[in-house]
Amino acid sequence: MTSPIVIMSLLLWATVAGVDLATVPQGLLSRPLVAATVAGAIVGNIEAGLLSGMVLELYALDVLPIGAAWYPDFGAASVAAAVAAAVVPLPVVAGVAGVVALPIAVFGGWTIQRLRRFNGASVQRRLERVAAGDARAIWELQRNGLLRDIARSFMLSVCALLVAAIVMSITWENVRGAEWLSWATIAGGLIAAIGGALRSAGQGARRRWYAVGLSTGVAVALLA
Amino acid sequence: MGVALYRVDDRLVHGQVVIGWGRPLGVRFIALVDPAVRASSWEQDLYRMAVPDGVEVFFADVAEAITLLPEWEADRRAGVVITGDLETMAALYTARPDLVNRINLGGIHHRADRTERLRYLYLAPEEEALLRRLDAAGAELSAQDLPTTPAVPLDEILP
Amino acid sequence: MTPRTAALIRLYGVQAAWTYERMAGIGVGHASAPLLRDLYAASAPAERRAAVARSAEFFNSHPYLAGIAVGAVVRAERDGVDPAQISRLRIALSGPLGAIGDQLIWAGQVPALMGLALAASPWAGAWVVGALLVAHNVARLLLTSWGLDLGLREGLGVGSALSRSWIAQRASDAQRVAAFGVGLATPIAAWQLLGDARPAAWAIVGAITLVGSVLALAPGTRSHVSGLRVGLGLLAVAGVVIGGMP
C-alpha cells in the first residue's frame, strides 16, 4: 500500500464511491461488495477485498435509504476495510473489516447530514434568484453541491485510510483471541441481514420467498 | 387489529409509510384523510398505484373520516390513518379522542413560517400551539420517521 | 445534444443539491431547465423564468423516478395548464413516486442483485461485481429514460398512465426476488466467512445471531436494535473479551 500510485488510486476510488452514494451517479459503486472488492484489486488482494465486502454488505442490506431517513456511508469505509484486511491472517479479515468500516460508515452518515445542511444554507443565499427563476442560480447550486460532496468524500477517504493504516500497524498474529472480532462482525452482519430482510418482507408471499431462499442457501452451504 | 398508526405526514403515502411502517406492522389498509386528494380522481389513481399488492387505500375528507373511524378501528386487518397536516389530525382527535389517542408526527416539512424542530419536523407557531393543546387534552404525541429510529416525545420537541 | 438527452444526463445528479427544506427540488429544476429553455425559446423571458422557479420548488421522490415528474411538469407547461395545478401535480407525484420507487429499487432491485451477487461470489469471484454493476446500471438507464418519456407524453395524465403501466407489478416481482436473494445469500455468506472455524465459533455466532434477530424484530426493541448498532456493540464486547485474555 506504500506506493504513491496505489495510495492515489485508493483515494480516488474511495472518493468516487462516496460521491456515488449521495450525489452522482448513484449507481451502486458505494455498495460494500463493490467498493471493497475494487479496493482489494487495487492493493493486490482481491480475496480479502471480496470477503470484507461480503461481511459489510450484510450490514448494508439492513439499510433502506427511504424518504429523508439517515443512512450510513459505506463507500470509503469499505475501501479502507479492504485495505486493512489485505494484510491480516484470514480468520481476522472479517473482524478487521468491521473494526475499520463500521465506525467510519456511521461517521460518513453524519457527514452526509452536514453536507445537506451546507446545501440548505447555499440555497438560502440564492433564495431570491431561485424564486425569480434564475436557471444559473440553480446550476450554481448543483455544481456547488457536487463540489461539496467531492470535498466531503475526499476528506472522509483520507480519514478512513488513516484508520486503516493504524489498524495495519498492529501485528494481528500476536493478538490472542483476535478471531473474536471476526465472530462479532459476522454475527452483527447476520443479524442486520436477517432483521432487515424480515422487516422488509413483511408478511405473506415475500416471507415465503425468503424462507425458500434461506432453505436453498442452507442446502447449498451444507453441500458445497 | 384496526388502526395501528395515526400519522401526520405532508408527503402522505410514500416509501417510509408503505415499507418502513407498512411491513413491520403488517399493514393491509391505508386511510388517507385529505380533502384535496378526496376530490381528485387522478391523485387517487396515483396513490392506489403506489401501494403494494394486498393493501387497500381509502380516501376520505374530515367528516367522512370521523364517521368511518370506528369501522377502521374494528377492521380485522392492521391499518394506518394518514393526514397531510396537523389541523386535520387534530380534528380527528377532537371528534374521537377515545380512538385517536396516539399520534405519530412523521413528516412536516419546511415552509417560510416554520422553524426546524427535527430534520423531518418543521413547525409554525400556531402548529406548536396546537400540539400543546392536544398534549394538554391528553393526546400522546411523538415524532418518529421510521420504526427503526427512536420516538421523540413532544416534551423533547417543544421543551 | 437534444434537450431530452441533456435532461436525462442531469437526472443522474438529481440529488446533488439535496436539502432538508426543498429535498430534491433544486435537482429537479436543474433537470427540467434544458426542456423548459427549449419550450420557452420563443416566449417572453418572464414566462420561462416563472416556469423555472416552479420547477425548483419542494420535491422528493425516488431519484430514479424523478424523470417522470420532470417530464410530466414540462408537458403540463407545454399544454398551458394553470400554474397552481402544475404545482399540485408536482406535490401529488412526490409521495407515490417515492413509494413505488422505494419498493422497486431499494426494497426490490438493489437487495435482489446484492443478494444474488453475494450468493454467487464464492464461485464467480470478483466477476460478480462487474456483472451486478452492468445489470443494475443498464436497468437504471432504461427506467430513467422510460420515466422521462412517459412524463413528457402524458403530462397531467401521468397518474393513470402509471397505473396502467408495468411498474407496480414489476415492483412486486422485484421484492419477491429480493426476499429470495437475501435469504439465499445469508447462509452462504455465513459459510464463506466462518469457513472452517471450529464448532464453538459456529455455536457462538449462531446463538448471538438468533438472539439479535429476535431483538431486531420485536416491537419493543426494534427501534434500538439496528444492524450497525449491534455490530458496534458486539465489537466492543469482543474487545473486552480479548483485553481480558491472559
Interface predicted TM-score (ipTM): 0.95
The model's pLDDT over A155-170, given as tens digits with 9 standing for 90+, comes to 999 999 999 999 999 9
Instruction: Show residues of chain C in contact with B46, CB under 8 Å.
Output: 92-93, 96, 159, 162-163
At B133, which amino acid appears? Answer: R
Based on its alpha-carbon atoms, the radius of gyration of chain C, rounded to whole angstroms, reads 23
Question: Are C138 and C223 contained in the same domain?
Answer: no
- Mutual angle of helices B86-95 and B125-136, in 10-degree steps: 20
| Residues C107, A122: C-beta atoms closer than 8 Å | no
3-state class (DSSP) for residue C228: helix
Residues of chain C falling short of pLDDT 70? none
CA dist C10 and C20 (Å) reads 21
Domain boundaries, chain A: 4-223
CA dist A28 and C137 (Å) reads 8
| Test the C interface: residue of A147, A191, A212 with most C CBs within 10 Å | A191
For helices A179-201 and A205-223, the axis angle rounded to 10 degrees is 150
C88 contacts B15? CB cut-off 8 A:
no
Domains belonging to chain B, first-starting first, are 2-112+127-157 (3.40.35.10)
B46, B111, B115: which to substitute to probe chain C, counting the most C Cβ within 10 Å? B46
pLDDT band, very low/low/confident/very high, at A40 (cuts 50, 70, 90): very high
Residues in chain A closer than 8 A to B120 (CB atoms): 67-68
Contacts of C31 in chain A (CB under 8 A): none
Please give the pLDDT value at position A1: 57
Q: What's this model's pTM, rounded to 2 decimal places? A: 0.94
CA B97 to chain centre: 15
Residues of chain B with pLDDT below 50 are none
Give the domain extent around C153. 3-195
Residue whose grid cell is 373511524: B69
Residue A187 — φ and ψ, nearest 5°? -60, -45
Contact A97, A175 (CB under 8 A): no
Task: Note whether A59 contacts C228, CB cutoff 8 Å.
Answer: yes
Across chain A, mean pLDDT equals 96
Could C231 and A67 be called an inter-chain contact, meaning their C-beta atoms sit closer than 8 Å?
Answer: no
How far is it, in rounded angstroms, from Cα A74 to Cα A34? Answer: 10
Contact A68 B120 (CB under 8 A): yes
Give the B-side interface with A, CB within 8 Å: 11, 14-16, 19-20, 22-24, 26, 53-54, 107, 119-120, 145-146, 148-149
C-alpha to C-alpha distance for A68 and B108, rounded to whole angstroms: 12
C238 and C143 inside one domain: no
- Closest partner residue to C183 (CB to CB) among A186, A191, A210 is A210
Nearest to A183 by CA among C127, C74, C15, C231: C231
Report pLDDT digits (tens) over C2-38. 999 999 999 999 999 999 999 999 999 999 999 999 9
Q: Given this model, what pLDDT does residue C166 score?
A: 96
**Which cell numbers in the block locate residue C141?**
438507464
Q: Are residues C79 and C122 in the same domain?
A: yes
C32 in Cβ contact with C39 (< 8 Å): no
User: Do C100 and C209 reside in the same domain of the chain?
Assistant: no
Residue A5 CB neighbour total at 10 angstroms:
8
For residues A192 and C228, the answer to whether their CB atoms sit within 8 Å is yes
**What is the layout of strands, in order, in the sheet containing B2-9?**
B56-60, B27-33, B78-83, B2-9, B102-107, B140-143, B152-153
On whether both C105 and C147 belong to a single domain, the answer is: yes
The reply to whether C146 and C222 lie within a common domain is no
**Average pLDDT rounded to a whole number, residues A205-218:** 96
Interface of B with C (CB under 8 A): 11-15, 17-19, 24, 36-37, 40, 42-43, 45-53, 109-110, 116, 119-120, 144, 147-151
Q: How many domains does chain C have?
A: 2
- Is C129 within 8 Å of A37 when comparing Cβ atoms? yes
